[in-house]
Amino acid sequence: MSLRRQLAQLLVLRASGFASDSQRRYPRWEASNAELRRWLAEGLGGVILLGGSAADLALRCRQLQHWAGPSAEQRLLLCADVEEGVGQRFEGASWLVPPLALDPLWRRDPERAEALARAYGACTGREAQLLGLNWVLAPVCDVNNNPANPVINVRAWGETAAAAAALATAFLEGLQQQGVLGCAKHFPGHGDSSGDSHLELPLLPHSRERLEAVEFVPFRAAIAAGVASVMTAHLQLPALDPQRPATLSAAVLSQLLRQDLGFQGLVVTDALVMEAIAGHYGAGEAAALAFEAGADLILMPADVAAALDALEQGFQQGRWPQERLEQSLERRQRALRRCTPPPAEAAGALEQLAQAEAPHRALAQELLELSLQRQGRSVLQGRSVLQESGVNLIRIDSSLGCGFLPLAAPALLRPQAAGFQALVLDDRSQPLNLETLPPGPVLLQLFVRGNPFRGSAGAGGAWASVVQSLLEAGRLAGLVVYGSPYLWAELQPLLPQTLPAAYSPGQMPAAQALALQSLGLGSDPHEGGFTD
């Protein structure tokens, strides 16, 4: 292979899981089919996918590999951010509770929690492998010991180093036994940041001793368990490198990760289009610095051609020896040899996926039930419908692309069947004015969790005053918090013990059905068959 073709194998582009260009949800970041075919013909090494159904994904993965070619050296790394099961990103597969939901159970019963984390990983790995993904960008090995963390939050497996290490490792074992690669992220630890690296470059001022005691612990465990890849964090850690962020730091990737921790697998950058990097470095410069620091794979460079040009120029000018490239290519091939090929035909894969649906759905339901918290009586205790119209006040981050709130969502239809009319607020809504709220009892449903690009963990104290005002007015009929355990911990002490309330770490329709069922709001005949 030519030098440029070899270097192209180190790049991972973002693409839509849908087949048609017109279906792309994020065309700014997702390559068109013409671009994909061109880059695959030039030796592109991997694709990260987002969007579409499980059936779309099965077809897409096989299409991309067909475009790349049949030979072993043309085999693609096909990956997705499916930290909460494949169904988190691709409808029709299993969507599981956020990993942090298992932390409280681990404190009570670590053996059971680790068994469930292992099953969680096996479910994710099996569905990924069938559909055509061979690389799952999970587990998150960050320790979420900062409740205000805007970007890690419930994506982490634990709030302590011990919990995060035990549960992430159990997940990893279950995952990689299914013939797919895992990825420990975000090294050396993003859990105690107060900034979102999608929007800015966060600073972690901790000493090396503190990092050894907390942040490094889950990564050491994952490495010992044979994790195939480690993803870098876009963080500034002066104790490790006062000049460059971790993704671009040889002190972090080559010295700490390779030498000190002994990791011999693939090192992949977090997406280089994120503002923590793209806001400070050019596309070519960032790719070259990441490779120079010790990264094997460059994920989502801001400009593919510029990244490839910079890497090629670096070798031509003698910036790096050929041996350095050969090491990365060998690690890539070694990782691919660990992968079990998917069924050749998408139809066969979907048939096998259907056969796994019952046990995977049972696991998803068990995780929801174990993590549900509730108090008080039924919302409708002693009456089948409200004696007066009520308000179903729902708060979501954004109504655009809100996958957990389809038209047939239990959060909409179950309260409606009981006489509560929906009022949905999102980040574009005017601040809530209780004086202009329609009359009647209020069922308050809050969908709040830390998420990338949000810039905050979502609580912020405002909802405590809303709850207090509704209580003082005698209007709060019930409360459900979906997602953030920190918001629930803030609001639950304000509630009378008899007031019906529930918390679920999940936000998906099945979580809504279970939480509302626990408050006495049963199914609606028009609901989309979501499990109770």
DSSP 277-292: HHTTS-HHHHHHHHHH
Residue 469: predicted pLDDT: 94
Q: At what angle do helices 110-131 and 54-68 cross, to 10 degrees?
A: 60
Phi, psi of 418 (to 5 degrees): -95, 5
Please measure the distance between the N-terminal and C-terminal CA atoms of the chain and give it in whole angstroms.
55
DSSP H or E segment with residue 167: helix 161-176
**What does the alpha-carbon distance between residue 396 and residue 405 come to, in Å, rounded to a whole number?**
9
Six-digit token string for 520 = 């006495």
**pLDDT (0 to 100) of residue 382:** 58
Quick: pLDDT tens for 397-418: 876 668 889 989 999 999 999 9
Q: What is the model's pLDDT at position 459?
A: 54
- Quote the pLDDT of residue 461: 64
Catalytic, out of 186, 190, 198, 206: 198
Burial class (CB in 10 A: 0-12, 13-18, 19+), 459: buried
Interior CA angle at 144 toward 142 and 145, to 5°?
Answer: 130
The rounded distance, in Å, linking the Cα atoms of 328 and 227 is 16
pLDDT at residue 33, rounded to an integer:
96
d(CA 434, CA 414): 23
| Closest among 362, 352, 385, 349 to 477, alpha carbons compared | 385
User: Residue 464: which H helix or E strand, with range?
Assistant: helix 462-472
| Residue bearing tokens 């607020």 | 425
Q: How far apart are CA 515 and CA 521, in angstroms?
A: 9
The single residue of 142, 241, 270, 296 carrying the catalytic annotation is 270
pLDDT of residue 429: 78
Tokens describing residue 488: 């629930």
**Per-state percent for the chain, helix, strand, coil, to nearest 5:** 45, 15, 40
Q: Which residues of the chain have pLDDT under 50?
A: none
Amino acid at 287: A
Distances (CA, A) of 284 to 270, 279, 298, 315, 360: 15, 13, 11, 13, 43
Global confidence as pTM: 0.94
Q: Cα(277)–Cα(247) distance, rounded to whole angstroms? A: 9
Task: Give the three-state DSSP class for 152.
Answer: coil
Length of the chain: 532
DSSP 8-state code for residue 178: T
C-alpha dihedral (274, 336, 307, 259), degrees to nearest 10: 80
In DSSP notation, 393-407 reads: EEE-S-STT-TT--T
pLDDT for the residue numbered 454:
59
Tell me whether residue 270 is one of the annotated catalytic residues. Answer: yes
Q: What percent of the chain has pLDDT over 70?
A: 95
Do 419 and 385 touch, CB atoms closer than 8 A? yes
Give Cα separations from 134 to 61, 138, 187, 445 (angstroms).
10, 12, 21, 37
Domains of the chain: 12-355 (3.20.20.300), 374-518 (3.40.50.10870)
Q: How far apart are CA 84 and CA 357, in angstroms?
A: 16
SS (H, E, C) 310-323: HHHHHHHCCCCCHH
List pLDDT tens digits, range 471-510.
999 999 999 999 999 999 999 999 999 999 999 999 999 9
